[in-house]
């Protein structure tokens, strides 16, 4: 299989403009003849569905939540990047492009990243016009703050609720089209299979989560905007319902899965407090603007702190190690997420961690409060401080927050070309669901940027190029391909229901998550990954022998929902391990212990691994086939990343 990325010719700054002119168009009268399915209603899905409807297409939008506004984009906190240069501090489209390629450790496509930086400026204007209440400075202009991996302030924000406010903007645009009848919304409906006819994506099979009914929906094109797969680790910052089923079922129908081992560990999360937890809570990266990260300088002091012999206020300034400021003076606490996470793990592994478990570091706001006053800090981060206090019963204005890295975002996803179409004609992937823009590490505040860029400004152009070559004919859902897909879905559900084992779905999920975290988490090595592959296969075999799924399929059955999702995680987890084993280098969030500098930084191998690893499914338990898309760098020089 030859991977054609369809990157346009010409200088990187002109590719997108030239491409928009060269794509085929569908005239307004003909747009109403085409049907588009959009799965997912987060920022990417809601913005895409709203824009398609505005253009005149007939859209069916699906989400498993009870309302499209419940999509997990609502949980994003800190902000959204855009190269507006409102601060007049040297930002530009090219600098955002450069920071993103460098932040991703040179494992992303230059053309896609440059386009992302280009359209970022339009996103802010669109959202302001929708009424998104971004923070403003004293003169009334939109305010900006800094995020990791950049030395400029380009992050627009609405306190710690940026994702919520942006999603409400997209949701209002979506509701407008629902009211006009151009978008038909299907909440509490989960995609369980992709339907191909003559090699083209022509529809999906879904389960109504209230009634259990299996139904088919036909369209001329299918857009997946279903988020990432971080919940393969069980404990993550994702909502419990976040899953990989739609993307994974598409993968099993032929869509390549790219760079699955590129998972991001977020450095500022509330630490694990017990085995009863089902998810972890994120503390926005924006807190690192004013909070200083530190641990005690000595193991002895840390041990006394953990035993309760001393309080944090007893530790003198001279006995504190502000390790990020010490090691990375140019960026300090605003190093990229992978760097901050690895260093937190390093100091905790040394025995200098804090909290009862020793798996935490401090994020301290004492200096900022002394400098700016508590009201100023509350104005910036008040809701985040309130959330932390409610969860931990500690006042972060009076004592430092305790934070530790946790699984957050996945840079891997379905392989897409420049048009955001997978290798399956008519199947598109947008937002976190695809692999395209972040390389091996996502910079903070870039997820919201990518989701809205894909939905508002990229897909509306590129999907028309595909549809313009399609006949208007609609495929009926009684076509044999739909019937076959429905029967396969029903058979799988019945198989899960018939096992009647002794262990719950969550038991298997937790077991898988622990294996993934220990051996394919912040650090990986060949021995651990090889062991993990064997363990995942063992867990998967036991799952299909001994899982207990209660109830029946033809009713509300959340246990069956979770069983389907965990069954997919048990297959995806093995592919993640295969990808991590194959990539014998360290880059971004993928840290192979065998490949590091003397200073414990990620050591890339550009000669052998400067490619996108796109995997082809060959059957459960069979070895997947690797396809490579070689990466070329014409505008950014390949260098060892340094934030010192």
Query: DSSP character for 612?
Result: E
Query: Could you give the angle at which helices 110-130 and 15-22 cross, rounded to 10 degrees?
Result: 80
Q: What are the DSSP calls for 464-500, one per residue?
A: HHHHTTS-SPPPPTTSHHHHHHHHHHHHHHHHHHHH-
Residues 292/325, Cβ–Cβ less than 8 Å: yes
Cα angle value 281/529/594 (rounded, 5°):
95
The rounded Cα 553 to chain-centroid distance in angstroms is 30
Q: 565 in helix, strand or coil?
A: helix
276, 217 Cβ separation under 8 angstroms: no
Helix axes 162-180, 110-130, angle to 10 degrees: 80
User: Strand locations in 283-441, DSSP E?
Assistant: 292-296, 320-321, 361-364, 401-410, 413-414, 427-429
3-state secondary structure of 443: coil
Question: What residues pair up with 428 in beta bridges, in sequence order?
Answer: 223, 421
The three state secondary structure string of 353-397 is CCCCCCCCEEEECHHHHHHHCHHHHHHHHHHHHHHHHHHHCCCCC
- Give the span between the Cα atoms of 464 and 224, in whole angstroms: 16
Q: Which residue has the tokens 């319902």?
A: 241
Distance CA 213, CA 613 (A): 37
Are the beta carbons of 408 and 237 closer than 8 angstroms?
yes
**DSSP per position, 222-269:** EEE-----GGGGSSSSS-TT---HHHHHHHHTT--EE-TT-EEEEEEE
Q: What's the token pair of residue 407?
A: 């699984």
Q: Which two tokens stand for residue 345?
A: 């793990």
Distance CA 575, CA 578 (A): 5
- Contact assessment for residue 600 and residue 342, using Cβ atoms and an 8 Å cutoff: yes
CA gap 143, 135 in Å, rounded: 5
Stated as kind and residue range, the H or E segment containing 614 is: strand 611-616
**Which of 635, 597, 588 is CA-nearest to residue 103?**
588
DSSP at 78: S
Determine how many CB atoms are found less than 10 A away from the CB of residue 139.
6
Residue 641 among the catalytic residues:
no
Taking the alpha carbons at both ends of the chain, their separation in whole angstroms is: 42
Handedness of CA 172, 45, 92, 100 (dihedral sign): positive
How many CB atoms are closer than 10 A to CB 376?
13
Q: Which of these is catalytic: 95, 154, 337, 524?
A: 337
Give me the residues paired with residue 218 across strands.
203
Cα 342 from Cα 63, distance rounded (Å)? 35
Residues with catalytic roles: 337
């Amino acid at each position: 299989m030859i991977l054609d990325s369809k990157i346009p010719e010409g200088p990187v700054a002109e590719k997108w403009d030239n491409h928009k002119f060269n794509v085929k168009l569908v005239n307004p009268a003909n747009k109403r003849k085409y049907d588009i399915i959009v799965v997912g209603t987060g920022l990417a899905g809601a913005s895409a569905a709203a824009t398609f409807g505005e253009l005149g297409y007939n859209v069916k939008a699906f989400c498993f939540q009870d309302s499209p506004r419940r999509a997990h984009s609502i949980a994003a906190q800190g902000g959204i990047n855009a190269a507006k240069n409102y601060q007049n501090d040297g930002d530009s489209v090219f600098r955002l492009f450069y920071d993103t390629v460098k932040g991703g450790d040179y494992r992303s496509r230059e053309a896609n990243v440059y386009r992302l930086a280009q359209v970022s400026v339009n996103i802010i204007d669109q959202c302001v016009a929708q009424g998104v209440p971004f923070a403003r400075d004293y003169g009334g202009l939109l305010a900006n703050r800094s995020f990791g991996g950049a030395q400029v302030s380009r992050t627009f924000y609405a306190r710690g609720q940026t994702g919520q406010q942006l999603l409400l903007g997209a949701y209002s645009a979506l509701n407008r089209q629902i009211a006009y009848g151009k978008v038909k919304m299907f909440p509490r409906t989960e995609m369980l299979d992709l339907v191909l006819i003559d090699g083209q994506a022509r529809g999906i099979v879904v389960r109504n989560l209230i009634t259990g009914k299996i139904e088919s929906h036909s369209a001329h094109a299918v857009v997946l905007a279903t988020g990432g797969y971080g919940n393969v680790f069980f404990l993550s910052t994702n909502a419990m319902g976040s899953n990989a089923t739609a993307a994974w079922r598409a993968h099993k129908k032929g869509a390549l899965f790219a760079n699955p081992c590129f998972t991001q560990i977020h450095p500022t999360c509330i630490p694990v407090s017990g085995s009863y937890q089902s998810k972890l809570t994120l503390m926005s990266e924006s807190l690192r603007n004013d909070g200083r990260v530190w641990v005690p300088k000595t193991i002895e002091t840390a041990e006394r702190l953990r035993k309760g012999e001393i309080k944090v206020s007893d530790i003198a300034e001279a006995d504190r190690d502000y390790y990020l400021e010490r090691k990375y003076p140019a960026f300090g606490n605003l190093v990229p997420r992978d760097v901050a996470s690895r260093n937190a793990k390093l100091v905790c592994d040394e025995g200098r961690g804090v909290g009862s478990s020793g798996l935490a570091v401090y994020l301290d706001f004492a200096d900022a409060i002394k400098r700016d006053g508590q009201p100023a800090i509350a104005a910036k981060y008040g809701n985040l401080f309130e959330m932390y206090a409610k969860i931990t019963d500690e006042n972060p204005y009076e004592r430092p927050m305790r934070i530790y890295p946790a699984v957050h975002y996945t840079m891997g996803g379905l392989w897409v070309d420049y048009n955001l179409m997978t290798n399956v004609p008519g199947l598109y992937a947008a937002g976190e669901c695809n692999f395209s823009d972040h390389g091996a590490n996502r910079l903070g505040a870039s997820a919201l940027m990518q989701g809205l860029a894909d939905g508002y400004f990229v897909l509306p152009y590129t999907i028309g190029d595909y549809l313009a070559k399609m006949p208007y004919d609609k495929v009926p859902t009684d076509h044999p391909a739909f019937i076959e897909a429905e029967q396969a879905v029903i058979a799988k559900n019945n198989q899960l229901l018939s096992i009647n084992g002794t262990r719950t779905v969550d038991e298997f999920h937790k077991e898988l998550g622990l294996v993934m975290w220990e051996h394919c988490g912040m650090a990986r090595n060949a021995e651990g990954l090889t062991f993990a592959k064997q363990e995942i296969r063992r867990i998967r075999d036991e799952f299909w022998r001994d899982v207990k799924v209660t109830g029946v399929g033809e009713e509300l059955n959340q246990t069956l929902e979770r069983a389907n999702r965990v069954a997919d995680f048990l297959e995806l987890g093995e592919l993640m391990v295969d990808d991590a084993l194959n990539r014998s280098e360290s880059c971004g969030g993928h840290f192979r212990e065998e490949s590091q500098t003397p200073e414990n930084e990620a050591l890339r191998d550009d000669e052998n691994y400067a490619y996108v690893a796109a995997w082809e499914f060959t059957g459960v338990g069979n070895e997947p086939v690797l396809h490579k898309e070689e990466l070329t760098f014409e505008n950014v020089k390949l260098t060892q990343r340094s934030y010192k």
